[in-house]
Amino acid sequence: MMKSGMDLISIHDLSAGDVEEILALAADLKVRQKAGIPHPLLAGKTLGMIFEKSSTRTRVSFEVGMYQLGGRALFLSSRDLQLGRGEPIADTARVLSRYLDGIMIRTYGHERIEELARWADVPVINALSDLLHPCQALTDLLTIREHKGRLAGLKMAYVGDGNNMTHSLMYAAAKVGMHFAAATPAGYEPNEKVVQNARADASETGASVTLTHDPKEAVRDADVVVTDTWASMGQEEEHDARTAVFRPYQVNPELLAAADARAVVMHCLPAYRNEEITADVFESFANVIFDEAENRLHVQKAIMALVMGG
């Protein structure tokens, strides 16, 4: 059982039971929200949202989520905080802990989230770092279960950069017994320590973690195919060079022919048509992709309710 006050920094830190608890509560909160049933589980509580890296879905989903849970959210950009003027993270953490019931942070270096959590006396939620994106990966699990009816035993294939999405999806799949295969270009492989951790988790659930440079090998017989932008925020200057390297890793009809005939395609957005995914494939699976986007709201509400409310 997840405990009130705990942080959510990495899916690797969670037990399989924790992951299931998040998904079950998210599904329940989604039903309640769709039915118009109030669920003020965090009435009177306040979440501070630190954004050193901007985002459409992250800001809106967390802010609306806190409102639906009966609490309030404060948007804090780096321009609004002394962090942007060089105040130590430890000092910011200790001050915010006196005012807030929880802190969400979306930033660049993962070590900034770890230091914030080390010094804060309230729960810290990782809304994205350069290493991990746990809220999105948990969201993807909920979406897969909605469309496939189960998680254990399925195969997830990720095609593209060995980035924060690759890492968190690898952790997520391992925790729920899904087989995971990632295809990345040489020189863009996932973090080796993350791979080791994920394989250790997978050994406990009967799952597997496979790495390859061949996208068709990764996608072969996959139930779920996932991709992400080739140049993430902060990598804009590398766009043209990355496009040349990643072109063979585009999710297109030819690549999907290697997947299971009933496979679904997912993308965490924003999507750049005819780069990492062709426009026709995107539109063919738009219902899944936008369910995925919506589910950020429900999963993050579940996380906040569990760590901030108990």
Q: For 113-140, how does the pLDDT look when each residue is reduced to its tens digit (9 = 90+)?
A: 999 999 999 999 999 999 999 999 999 9
Q: What is the pLDDT of residue 247?
A: 97
Q: State how far the alpha carbon of 289 is from the alpha carbons of 78, 124, 210, in Å.
A: 30, 27, 24
Residue 233 banded pLDDT, cuts 50, 70, 90: low
pLDDT of residue 80: 79
7 annotated active-site: no
Query: Is the pLDDT assigned to residue 232 strictly greater than 80?
Result: no
Residues at the annotated binding site for L-ornithine?
Answer: 164, 228, 232-233
* Predicted confidence (pLDDT) at residue 280 exceeds the cutoff of 90: yes
For the segment 31-55, the average pLDDT, to the nearest whole number, is 96
Please check the confidence at residue 16 and state whether its pLDDT lies above 80: yes
pLDDT at 166 over 90: yes
pLDDT band at 309; cut points 50, 70, 90: very high
To the query of whether residue 68 is one of the catalytic residues in this protein, the response is no
Dihedral sign from CA coordinates of 301, 310, 47, 120:
negative
Select which of 136, 267, 298, 300 is catalytic. Answer: 136
pLDDT exceeds 70 at position 239: yes
Q: What is the pLDDT of residues 146-164, one digit of tens each?
A: 999 999 999 999 999 999 9
- Is 136 among the catalytic positions? yes
Considering 130, 242, 268, 298, which one is annotated as catalytic?
A: 268
Give yes or no: 85 in active site: no
pLDDT at 84: 58
| Per-residue tokens: 57 | 């879905």
Looking at residues 281-296, what average pLDDT do you find? Answer: 98
Q: What percent of the chain has pLDDT over 70?
A: 99
How many residues are present in the chain?
310
Angle subtended by helix axes 164-176 and 192-205, to nearest 10:
20
Of 59, 106, 179, 298, the active-site residue reads 106
| Catalytic annotation, pick one of 201, 228, 250, 300 | 228
pLDDT of residue 87: 86
Write down the pLDDT at residue 216. Answer: 98
Give the mean pLDDT of 97-123: 97
Residue (of 116, 72, 73, 74) closest to 97 by Cα position: 116
Confidence of residue 255 (pLDDT cuts 50, 70, 90): very high
- pLDDT at position 49, please? 97
**pLDDT tier at 81, thresholds 50, 70, 90:** confident
Domains and CATH numbers, the chain: 11-133+295-309 (3.40.50.1370), 137-293 (3.40.50.1370)
Question: Is 72 annotated as catalytic?
Answer: no
Could you confirm whether 91 is annotated as catalytic? no
Over the chain, what is the mean pLDDT? 96
Instruction: Tell me the two tokens of residue 228.
Output: 């992400």
Q: Annotated binding site: which residue ranges?
A: 55-58, 82, 106, 133-136, 164, 228, 232-233, 268-269, 296
Q: What is the structure's pLDDT at 231?
A: 80
Q: Is the pLDDT of residue 105 over 80?
A: yes
